Amino acid sequence: MTPEQARKLSLAEQYDWFRRATSRRALLRGGLVGAGALAAGPAILASTAGPAAAATRAASPLLHAKTGWTSGTSAVPFGQKVIFGADPTTQIAVSWQVRNAVSNPFIRISDSPGGWGEKIPAEVRTLSTLVSDTSPVDSVPLVSPKTITQYYLHASLSYLRPDTTYFYTVGQDGYEDATTVAGSFTTGTNSRRPFRFTAFGDEGITYDAVATTSQVRTLNPAFHLHAGDVSYAESGGSGLLTDTYDPRVWDSWFNQVSPAAGSIPWQVAVGNHEMEAWYSPDGYGGQQARWDFPNGVNGPTYYTFSYGNVAVFALDANDVSYEIPANFGYSGGAQVAWLESNLARVRSQPGIDFVVAYFHHCAYSTCTSHASEGGARQFFAPLFDKYGVDLVINGHNHIYERNNPLIAGQQTVNAPTGATITPATQGTTYVVAGGAGVSLYKFGAKDSYEGDVNVDTAIASYVNVAGGKTQNETVDYSQVRYTGYCLLVVDSAPASWAGGTSTLLVRGLNEDGVELDRFTLARTAN
């Protein structure tokens, strides 16, 4: 399959072609049962069994690369990360990796370091990758194959106490270091107390990604939102079988972020670089092996959770993207129906003042690389208007941009740095914080941020629309623009009584912690 051929197929159609092609090749070649080769791509797939018994999930992309990887003998845990369960006040999932197959992995927790409780079993999910020193093509078999096997271990913790910090250690048969704290986490709160969360997107493995991740750790948020394009293991970003892909990049990325993600719940939304066609019809089989999403192991990659007075929605913009259509409509409308029913639910829920949504593709942006996604405007934005979503956080464009509040795509008020916005009457504020670490993009207008203000009232841009086309537009909503690495910091200050004023103070910071932007969202407490 060529890239041109792949672009004409949905991700599910590519996966179906891939499975049939690899099965046919296995019969013809007689070795590597279940394996085959792509005519013009780097990856081939085989089905292999995992090392554990019933708890093990296995998915197995096979990769062409110039270098192999030797697992060695170490089974020391690394790459720890935590994520909220369905109820953040009582449920947490902890994940980590080992380099070799292990038996009976476990986690032990305690509210004080060293006073460990009983061993709680962990699940093993295995990814196996075949590496060759020659490029696989239709007529040439793989030469000198080597196998990369990645072991992702997962433990789901329930019946925890709200507002409580726990420490954890992990191990398996033959390995337990009870003197070492692998990490810690703090469960969510139901109380009306102040808290902080952070957000960014488009990270990768770079010097600047280390800087923004270190800032998250220093800011010590209750949780962190990642708006997609996480490791860039799938570097093409088009959701094509012919895209370049190296699953080992995920391990490097997990190691990079574990000093923060091992203690701060790292809530990930999928971006276009998370579509890995070799795993499953929706391309998320690899993500299900690596992550625990609050919806459960086999649940969708879109989900919601509430923390204090804020309800948070992680959405999958690949489902609605006209720009990168490999997964367009894959949920069959289920995500949009789910979004509406859950927005209606949280808006009638006592104690919820603010609603925050985050996803990858930008609904409104003037960046020259991807600009705006018409699918997000068509399918998501009307529901944001209908149910009064206060803040939307996006990635995809590798810059910082904050728009004036919008209703039905129209600016309602000019909100310069330092402004207070009332979403109940003025609409939704959209922020792009896609400068977490990978190469930066540009604007078609001058940067305008705190300390360097330029006023451009009419900015030429475009929106991606159906049929892989773009539509030019001139917009007035772009208020703050910064070409540089960045992250978002949000401080919630709930009113202590119904009828009081609750606020979200939202700040954009550069990678050195210098403030670029600040504004306040204010609502009457529910």
Summarised one tens digit per residue, pLDDT across range 172-183 is 998 888 778 889
State how far the Cα of 475 lies from the Cα of 306, in Å rounded to an integer: 33
Residue 57 predicted with pLDDT over 70: no
pLDDT one-digit tens code per residue, 482-493? 999 999 999 999
Give the pLDDT confidence score for residue 1 in this predicted structure: 80
Residue 464 predicted with pLDDT over 80: yes
pLDDT one-digit tens code per residue, 242-255? 888 888 999 999 99
Please count the other Cβ atoms lying within 10 Å of the Cβ belonging to residue 356: 23
Residue 61 predicted with pLDDT over 50: no
Two structure tokens written together for 386 = 């209908």
Q: Are strands 223-226 and 195-200 parallel, antiparallel or unpaired?
A: parallel
Largest Cα separation within the chain, whole Å, is 72
Give the pLDDT confidence score for residue 367 in this predicted structure: 97
* Best CA proximity match to 42, nearest among 146, 142, 183, 172: 142
- pLDDT confidence bin for 74, thresholds 50/70/90: low
Two structure tokens written together for 233 = 């293991």
Give the pLDDT confidence score for residue 25 in this predicted structure: 53
The CA R_g of the chain, rounded to the nearest whole Å, is 23
Give the pLDDT confidence score for residue 290 in this predicted structure: 93
> Sign of torsion, CA 272 278 279 281?
positive
pLDDT one-digit tens code per residue, 365-396? 999 999 999 999 999 999 999 999 999 999 99
- pLDDT confidence bin for 24, thresholds 50/70/90: low
pLDDT one-digit tens code per residue, 393-407? 999 999 999 999 999
Residue 130 predicted with pLDDT over 90: no
State how far the Cα of 39 lies from the Cα of 332, in Å rounded to an integer: 31
Two structure tokens written together for 108 = 């032990």
Task: Say if CB 395 and CB 202 are below 8 A apart.
Answer: yes
- pLDDT confidence bin for 45, thresholds 50/70/90: very low
Q: DSSP class of residue 318?
A: G
State how far the Cα of 258 lies from the Cα of 266, in Å rounded to an integer: 10
Q: Are strands 175-176 and 303-307 parallel, antiparallel or unpaired?
A: unpaired
Mean pLDDT of the chain: 87
State how far the Cα of 239 lies from the Cα of 273, in Å rounded to an integer: 7
Comparing 310 with 32, which gets the higher pLDDT? 310
* Residues 6 or more apart whose Cβ sits within 8 Å of residue 458: 474, 475, 476
* Phi and psi, residue 264, nearest 5°: -105, 120
**Model pTM above 0.85:** yes
The secondary element (H helix, E strand) that includes residue 266 is strand 266-268
Task: Say if CB 432 and CB 394 are below 8 A apart.
Answer: yes
Give the pLDDT confidence score for residue 319 in this predicted structure: 98
Task: Say if CB 101 and CB 147 are below 8 A apart.
Answer: no
- pLDDT confidence bin for 146, thresholds 50/70/90: low
Q: Which domains does the chain have, with CATH numbers?
A: 187-524 (3.60.21.10)
Task: Say if CB 486 and CB 469 are below 8 A apart.
Answer: no
- pLDDT confidence bin for 519, thresholds 50/70/90: very high
Q: What percent of the chain has pLDDT over 90?
A: 72
Q: DSSP class of residue 467?
A: T
Task: Say if CB 434 and CB 203 are below 8 A apart.
Answer: no
Q: Mean pLDDT throughout 457-474? A: 95
Q: What percent of the chain has pLDDT over 70?
A: 86
Give the pLDDT confidence score for residue 181 in this predicted structure: 87
Q: In what order do the strands lie in the sheet containing 354-358?
A: 303-307, 310-314, 354-358, 391-394, 429-433, 400-403, 478-482
Give the pLDDT confidence score for residue 47 in this predicted structure: 29
Task: Say if CB 399 and CB 483 are below 8 A apart.
Answer: yes
Task: Say if CB 234 and CB 245 are below 8 A apart.
Answer: yes
Task: Say if CB 509 and CB 495 are below 8 A apart.
Answer: no
State how far the Cα of 204 lies from the Cα of 257, in Å rounded to an integer: 10
Tell me the helix, strand and coil percentages in the chain, rounded to 5.
Answer: 20, 35, 50
Give the pLDDT confidence score for residue 344 in this predicted structure: 98
State how far the Cα of 475 lies from the Cα of 443, in Å rounded to an integer: 13
Centroid of chain to Cα 358: 9
* Best CA proximity match to 3, nearest among 42, 29, 51: 42
> Sign of torsion, CA 348 334 56 100?
negative
State how far the Cα of 435 lies from the Cα of 324, in Å rounded to an integer: 20
Give the pLDDT confidence score for residue 138 in this predicted structure: 39
Task: Say if CB 233 and CB 247 are below 8 A apart.
Answer: yes
Give the pLDDT confidence score for residue 175 in this predicted structure: 86
Q: 50-55: long-range contacts at Cβ-Cβ below 8 A with a sequence spacing of 24 or more?
A: 50/124, 50/125, 50/126, 51/101, 51/102, 51/124, 51/126, 51/151, 52/101, 52/103, 52/123, 52/124, 52/126, 55/121, 55/123, 55/124
pLDDT one-digit tens code per residue, 333-367? 999 999 999 999 999 999 999 999 999 999 999 99
Give the pLDDT confidence score for residue 33 in this predicted structure: 28
CA dist list (Å): 97 to 67, 151, 239, 277, 457: 21, 6, 26, 23, 50
Task: Say if CB 182 and CB 97 are below 8 A apart.
Answer: no
Residue 54 predicted with pLDDT over 70: no
State how far the Cα of 34 lies from the Cα of 319, in Å rounded to an integer: 30
Give the pLDDT confidence score for residue 167 in this predicted structure: 96
Give the pLDDT confidence score for residue 129 in this predicted structure: 62
